[in-house]
Amino acid sequence: MIPAMPQTPLPNYLREFVGSNHYRKICVNAVAPILRDLYHEIKIVLGANTHHVIEGMLGTSMRLVYYQMRDEKAISIEALWKFANLWKNICRKSGSDFSNLWQVISANVRGFTVGGAPNVTFLPKMLTPRLAYFLGVLFGDGSLSSGDKRYAIKVDDETEFLPHFIKKLSAEMFGVSGTVVKDRNGHSWSCNSKVLHIFLNEIFQMPVGKKKGLLAMPKSIKGAPLGIQKWFIVGLMDSDGSVAGSKNPNASPRLELRLSCLQLLIDIKEALRKFGIYIGGPYLHAHDGSALIATTSLRQIRKYAMRVGFLYPNKVKLMRNILESY
């Protein structure tokens, strides 16, 4: 349904998890061989003082370090950062050596946990069409919230399609399934994941709490190939876009996207132009602070259907009816 390609590397985001009490308990695994190499290089320089220095600089016990060097316990990213800096300073490595080491560490990390808990969250190293679609839906119908030791991620919709599809994507990409519930307002998917919450907030600039006026197309999406930008647009249009015909045969069909974030609308309009799709707006609505981009040009709607489109079944059906009726 969503292609695997193209893909483009994400920036090394491990540094974003370092340096704040908020993130202190985020741990990683699969770095034991690297820890052992760093330890042996440090020991060559320090000799008998090695254990004393490591315990003092890392604020931990050598017993725990031995467990971590055997991959029997996860190590916090903050402790890993300190270990790498200790290696740099003791062994007189350059800034370039340190940067290269951190790239190797990033490439080897396979999963993230909170405080060494058994539940592992997997974060992608590549930006893919599936991740772009997930982000598009989240920027539209999703939200991040935190408090009382909870890091909630949620997607609401009138029908069950988006919540269930996002649950499937989240499980496949991150190992986080979450739950889908139905209430009188529709359906919603939600999960509680500190690791994924930080990833979405720090790497893709998804705000915590209210989104009004705060969203723009993520920098990594804006700089990605068109095959990835397309799926961000599809996700956003599946959540907040609309397409409609008219019972009046003389009236034109209409394709639009309405949001409360003007900059994101400007970014989407500009991205659509790269696909040869020209759409009007943004048009501001003073009564609620929202804005929209829209077109009633059948030619532009056809180009949108052929070059971008929807996944949302109801919107796919509406678009098909319009293309067959006009």
Domain assignment of residue 252, yes or no: yes
Pair 277, 242 in one domain: yes
For residue 292, the cross-strand partners are 258, 283
Claim to verify: residue 179 and residue 235 sit in the same structural domain: no
Same structural domain, 144 and 77: no
Q: What is the mean pLDDT of residues 7-32?
A: 80
The pLDDT score that the predictor gives to residue 147 is 80
Query: Would 283 be classed as within a structural domain?
Result: yes
Higher pLDDT, 186 or 23: 186
Instruction: Tell if the pTM clears 0.75, that is, is over it.
Output: yes
264-282 mean pLDDT: 97
Domain shared by 140 and 103, yes or no = no
Q: Report which residue type is found at 56.
A: G
Provide the pLDDT for residue 22.
58
Tokens 């969203």: give the residue. Answer: 215
Lowest mean pLDDT among 38-47, 69-78, 114-123: 114-123
Tens of pLDDT, residue by residue over 239-254, are 999 999 766 666 789 9
Q: Judge whether residue 20 has pLDDT over 70.
A: no
Q: What percent of the chain has pLDDT over 70?
A: 96
Q: Which of 194, 214, 234 is the last residue of a domain?
A: 214
How much is the average pLDDT of 181-204? 92
For residues 77 and 86, what is the distance between their CA atoms, to the nearest angstrom?
14
pLDDT over 60 (residue 307): yes
Structure confidence at residue 101 (pLDDT): 94
Say if 113 falls within a structural domain.
no
What per-residue confidence (pLDDT) applies to 277?
98
- What's the average model confidence in pLDDT over 140-153? 89
- Looking at residue 246, its pLDDT comes to 67
- Model confidence at 170, pLDDT cuts 50, 70, 90, reads very high
The verdict on 270 and 239 lying in the same domain is: yes
Asked whether 298 and 253 are in contact (CB, 8 A), the reply is yes
Question: What number is the average pLDDT over the span 140-162?
Answer: 91
Where does the pLDDT of residue 271 fall: very low under 50, low under 70, confident under 90, or very high at 90 and above? very high
Mean pLDDT confidence for 95-104: 93
Contact 143, 207 (CB under 8 A): no
Q: Do residue 230 and residue 321 come from a single domain?
A: yes
Q: Where are the alpha helices (DSSP H) in the chain?
A: 32-46, 50-58, 62-69, 77-90, 95-108, 129-141, 161-174, 194-198, 204, 219-222, 226-240, 262-274, 298-307, 313-325
264 in the same domain as 301: yes
CATH of the domain at 314: 3.10.28.10
The total number of structural domains that make up the chain: 3
In a domain, 61, yes or no: yes
Q: Is residue 119 part of a domain?
A: no
The domain in which residue 80 lies consists of 30-108
83 found inside a domain = yes
Q: Largest alpha-carbon pair distance within the chain?
A: 88
**Which amino acid does the sequence have at 325?**
S
Question: Which of 51, 80, 108 finishes a domain?
Answer: 108
304 occurs within a structural domain:
yes
More confident residue, 246 or 288: 288
How far is 126 from 208, CA to CA, in rounded Å?
23
Mean model confidence pLDDT for the chain = 92
Q: What does the pLDDT average to over 153-176?
A: 96
Contact 135, 153 (CB under 8 A): no
- What is the pLDDT at residue 254? 94
- pLDDT for 24 equals 62
Residue 299 lies in a domain: yes
Question: Considering the chain, what percentage of its residues have pLDDT values greater than 90?
Answer: 76
Per DSSP, the residues of 17-78 read GSS-GGGTTEEE-S-HHHHHHHHHHHHHHHGGGHHHHHHHHHTS-HHHHHHHHTTSS-EEHH
Examine the pLDDT at 270 and tell me if it is beyond 90.
yes
Residue 234, pLDDT score: 98
How many residues in total does the chain contain?
A: 326
Mean pLDDT, residues 193-204 taken together? 92
